[in-house]
Amino acid sequence: MFNWFKTALLMAAITALFGVLGAAMGGTQGMLLALALGGGMNLFAYWFSDQMVLKMYKARAVDETSAPAFYNMVRELAGNAGLPMPRVYIIDETQPNAFATGRNPEHAAVAATTGILSLLSPRELRGVMAHELTHVKHRDILISTISATLAGGISALAHFAMFFGGRDSRRAHPLVGLLVVILAPLAASLIQMAISRAREFEADRGGAEISGDPDALADALEKISARARSTPMQTAEAHPETAQMMIMNPLAGGGFSNLFSTHPPTAERVARLRALVRVQGSEK
């Protein structure tokens, strides 16, 4: 129930940003038009955003014939988690990464890059896919997929406003309108960041439980982090709103930009997983 509340809150907050941007562009009329656009995008994102993301990353569907080891691994983990079998995809990208998408567990998909399949051992890959299936189980995938679609819409509308903003004389001072146009995409990103960071910790913990091997996921995160920083993913760079869907932040950058990362620090994630190993050891 709380996940549904978070989803509704997210949709309402980002839809409100459409209204604020619309008001900055064209007063009351612009606000109403933008709110209608935001509401329409909410509905579209609910039904079709997973297909959009998979197509954006040129993901190709695989089965037990085309990728037997990977497909059967996902099937085993889905069974451990008590989930329906999701659709399984592979993305031809050298950066090691993975994500889950879909509006609910019955319409879910998991995707992994060729980079992560070649980098990780089967044991480590199980930890990663268990992490992604935890997102499915917690219904985080609806939140992340909708937020990715709508944050992209906010950015597109803001760029439109920069060049074609309204000239309503009853609006606030033009400088205020400019600030709104600049800050609205940042606000959308902050909404994504706040939700995503807490969600990643929970998915790490759940993934460790489903796979039964917290150390494997910790090892995988360390490997992915080291390789991802030096391996760009052009699709993610072109669509940064999708970064929060990945198990590891796929975007280049560091230092100050890490303050606005949708993912918690890898070292903290690993430390929490290593702590789970110690707890399990003490209980034996």
Farthest CA pair distance, the chain: 72
Give the model's pLDDT for residue 156: 63
Mean pLDDT, 10 residues at a time, over the chain (284 residues)?
58 67 67 68 71 94 98 98 97 97 92 98 98 92 67 64 51 52 62 70 95 97 94 92 89 55 88 88 58
Q: Is the Cβ–Cβ distance between 204 and 216 less than 8 Å?
A: no
Sheet holding 108-113, edge to edge: 60-62, 87-91, 108-113, 98-102
Give the model's pLDDT for residue 229: 84
Give the model's pLDDT for residue 256: 40
Residue 164 lies in a domain: no
Question: Total structural domains in the chain?
Answer: 1
Domain range for 110 is 56-145+176-283
Contacts of 103 (CB under 8 A, 6+ apart): 46, 47, 50, 141, 142, 145
3-state SS, one letter per residue, for the chain: CHHHHHHHHHHHHHHHHHHHHHHHHHHHHHHHHHHHHHHHHHHHHHHHHHHHHHHHCCCEEECCCCCHHHHHHHHHHHHHHCCCCCEEEEECCCCCCEEEEECCHHHEEEEEEHHHHHHCCHHHHHHHHHHHHHHHHCCHHHHHHHHHHHHHHHHHHHHHHHHHCCCCCCCCCHHHHHHHHHHHHHHHHHHHHHHHHHHHHHHHHHHHHHHCCHHHHHHHHHHHHHHHCCCCCHHHHHCHHHHHHECCCCCCCCHHHHHHCCCCCHHHHHHHHHHHHHHHHHHC
pTM: 0.77
Residue 207 lies in a domain: yes
- Give the type of residue at 147: S
Residue 29 lies in a domain: no
Q: What is the CATH number of the domain that holds 259?
A: 3.30.2010.10
Residue 272 lies in a domain: yes
Give the model's pLDDT for residue 259: 45
Residue 232 lies in a domain: yes
Q: What is the dihedral of CA 182, 187, 192, 196, to 10 degrees?
A: 120
Residue 241 lies in a domain: yes
Residue 60 lies in a domain: yes
Residue 262 lies in a domain: yes
Per the structure block, which two tokens stand in for 145?
Answer: 């997929």
Q: Which residues are catalytic?
A: 132
